[in-house]
């Protein structure tokens, strides 16, 4: 892999990841761009003991542009985009409308009950392919493998930034999820705190270890492998399964067979096998209703400075689509109380995914 860095017109960093060592790119950005907002704030919710990011400047971000105006496509002589080069394999760059910024500043301090601090952190866009009409599921294995390298690279670099406590790689796919750009891409957030979901997972893992002396996630994996009924696919180094208490209509977790903290800890055979398993699962998702399935893909990595002995790297993949023509809405019980009610049995979902005809 070749890695090339440059700066966009407003000072944001851009990183090209190429399969060929002789790849070259245009590194200057001819656009006249306004400065990136540094006004993000973090406000602490004392009732839930959670930080909430305030980023009002994001209201003006690009929303569902036509294909010929896509800002993630490669640049052409008459239309410069977020990617100055006229070609690329995989590219990452700082978000033009970030929820968090390493330059964030605010004069507000809030109160003792509701403190306010600058929204320090970093938000990046990771573009999986220059092909506007591709999806992750349609990527060639070598292209998907390059994305894994980019995830590992960005996770490691962002974890080293001052003040960053957690790095989250994810993909939102489909307008039903809220995607505003249809070009195949994901995002990476570097948070200045441990997110609520991760904190709760690690607390559960801590209690499990105190009670049993074992790792919670390893026990979950072992139980799913032994039961078999919810396993969708398996390789030497990975297992993909529908969790026994799945919250979403379609949900699959991909676990490596050994406890790791971060994507960068995966060795080459594990990365190779992940690519083939993940592409297989994504194709099963799309075959479920004979149409592209909207989904969120969320990498769970260990925080930077806490809980690394408890964490267990895994990918959570889930969809809000509960039928070919129906969505799962988070209504009163889910949104109001955080109490999920699922409409389908995990065992049935796993059976349907196993039986899905995966196109070659």
The pLDDT tens digits for 297-321 are: 999 999 999 999 999 999 999 999 9
| DSSP H/E element including 152 | helix 141-159
With cut-offs at 50, 70 and 90, classify the pLDDT of residue 111. Answer: very high
CA-nearest of 137, 187, 146, 144 to 167 is 187
Same domain, 173 and 206: no
In a domain, 276, yes or no: yes
Same domain, 100 and 136: yes
- Whether 256 contacts 270, CB under 8 Å: yes
Domain encompassing residue 238: 197-355
> Which single residue is written with the structure tokens 């001819």?
30
In a domain, 360, yes or no: no
- Whether 133 contacts 160, CB under 8 Å: no
Beta bridge partners of residue 51, listed in sequence order? 44
With cut-offs at 50, 70 and 90, classify the pLDDT of residue 56. Answer: confident
In a domain, 348, yes or no: yes
With cut-offs at 50, 70 and 90, classify the pLDDT of residue 182. Answer: very high
Query: Whole-angstrom Cα distance, residue 108 to residue 55?
Result: 14
CATH number of the domain enclosing 115: 3.30.428.10
Q: What is the pLDDT of residues 223-268, one digit of tens each?
A: 999 999 999 999 999 999 999 999 999 999 999 999 999 999 999 9
Considering the chain, what is the average pLDDT of its residues?
96
> Which single residue is written with the structure tokens 């590219």?
91
Distance between the two ends of the chain, CA-based, in angstroms? 27
Q: What is the pLDDT of residues 318-342, one digit of tens each?
A: 999 999 999 999 999 999 999 999 9
Domain end, chosen from 170, 193, 216, is at: 193
With cut-offs at 50, 70 and 90, classify the pLDDT of residue 360. Answer: low
Domain end, chosen from 161, 193, 225, is at: 193
At residue 145, what are phi and psi to the nearest 5 degrees?
-65, -35
Same domain, 126 and 206: no
Same domain, 181 and 106: yes
CA-nearest of 151, 195, 160 to 297 is 151
Q: What is the pLDDT of residues 64-93, one digit of tens each?
A: 899 999 999 999 999 999 999 999 999 999
Q: What is the pLDDT of residues 128-176, one digit of tens each?
A: 999 999 999 999 999 999 999 999 999 999 999 999 999 999 999 999 9
Same domain, 176 and 299: no
Q: What is the model's pLDDT at position 186?
A: 98
Same domain, 92 and 113: yes
Cα 161 to its chain centre, rounded Å, is: 19
Strand, helix or coil for residue 158: helix
Number of folded domains that form the chain: 2
Same domain, 72 and 114: yes
In a domain, 111, yes or no: yes
Domain end, chosen from 160, 193, 226, is at: 193
Query: Whole-angstrom Cα distance, residue 190 to residue 304?
Result: 10
In a domain, 74, yes or no: yes
Same domain, 129 and 239: no
Q: Catalytic residue positions?
A: 185
In a domain, 50, yes or no: yes
Q: What is the model's pLDDT at position 12?
A: 98
Same domain, 203 and 271: yes
Same domain, 182 and 213: no
Same domain, 13 and 73: yes
Predicted confidence (pLDDT) at residue 118 exceeds the cutoff of 80: yes
At residue 343, what are phi and psi to the nearest 5 degrees?
-95, -10
| DSSP H/E element including 350 | helix 346-355
- For 24, residues 6+ apart whose C-beta sits below 8 A from its C-beta are none
- Whether 118 contacts 41, CB under 8 Å: yes
Q: What is the model's pLDDT at position 359?
A: 65
In a domain, 240, yes or no: yes
Between 178 and 130, the more confident residue is 130
Query: Whole-angstrom Cα distance, residue 266 to residue 312?
Result: 12
Same domain, 139 and 13: yes
DSSP-derived secondary structure for 49-81: TEEEEE-GGGGGS--S--GGG-TTSBPBTTB--
């Amino acid at each position: 892999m070749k890695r090339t860095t440059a700066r966009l017109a407003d000072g944001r960093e851009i990183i090209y990841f190429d399969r060929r060592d002789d790849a070259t790119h245009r590194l200057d950005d001819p656009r006249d761009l306004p400065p990136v907002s540094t006004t993000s704030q973090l406000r602490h919710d004392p009732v839930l003991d959670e930080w909430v990011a305030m980023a009002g400047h994001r209201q003006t971000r690009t929303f569902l542009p036509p294909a010929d105006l896509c800002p993630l496509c490669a640049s052409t002589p008459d239309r410069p985009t977020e990617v100055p080069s006229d070609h690329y394999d995989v590219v990452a760059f700082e978000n033009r409308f970030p929820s968090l910024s390493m330059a964030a500043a605010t004069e507000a301090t809030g109160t003792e009950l509701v403190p306010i601090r600058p929204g320090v952190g970093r938000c990046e866009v990771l573009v999986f392919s220059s092909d506007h009409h591709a999806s992750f599921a349609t990527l060639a294995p070598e292209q998907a493998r390059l994305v894994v390298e980019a995830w590992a690279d960005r996770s490691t670099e962002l974890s080293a930034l001052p003040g960053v406590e957690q790095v989250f790689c994810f993909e939102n796919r489909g307008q039903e999820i809220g995607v505003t750009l249809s070009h195949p891409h994901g995002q990476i957030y570097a948070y200045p705190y441990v997110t609520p979901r991760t904190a709760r997972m690690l607390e559960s893992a801590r209690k499990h270890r105190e009670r049993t002396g074992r790792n919670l996630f390893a026990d979950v994996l072992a139980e799913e492998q032994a039961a078999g009924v919810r396993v969708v696919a398996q390789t030497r180094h990975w297992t993909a399964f529908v969790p026994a208490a799945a919250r979403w209509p379609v949900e699959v977790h991909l676990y490596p067979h050994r406890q790791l903290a971060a994507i960068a800890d995966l060795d080459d055979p594990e990365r190779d096998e992940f690519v083939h398993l993940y592409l297989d699962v994504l194709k099963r998702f799309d075959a479920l209703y004979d149409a592209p399935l909207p989904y969120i893909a969320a990498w769970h990595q260990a925080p930077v400075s806490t809980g690394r002995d408890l964490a267990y790297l895994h990918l959570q993949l889930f969809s809000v689509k509960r039928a070919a023509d129906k969505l799962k809405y988070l209504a009163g019980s889910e949104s109001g109380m955080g109490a999920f009610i699922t409409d389908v049995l995990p065992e049935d979902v796993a059976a349907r995914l196993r039986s899905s005809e995966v196109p070659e």
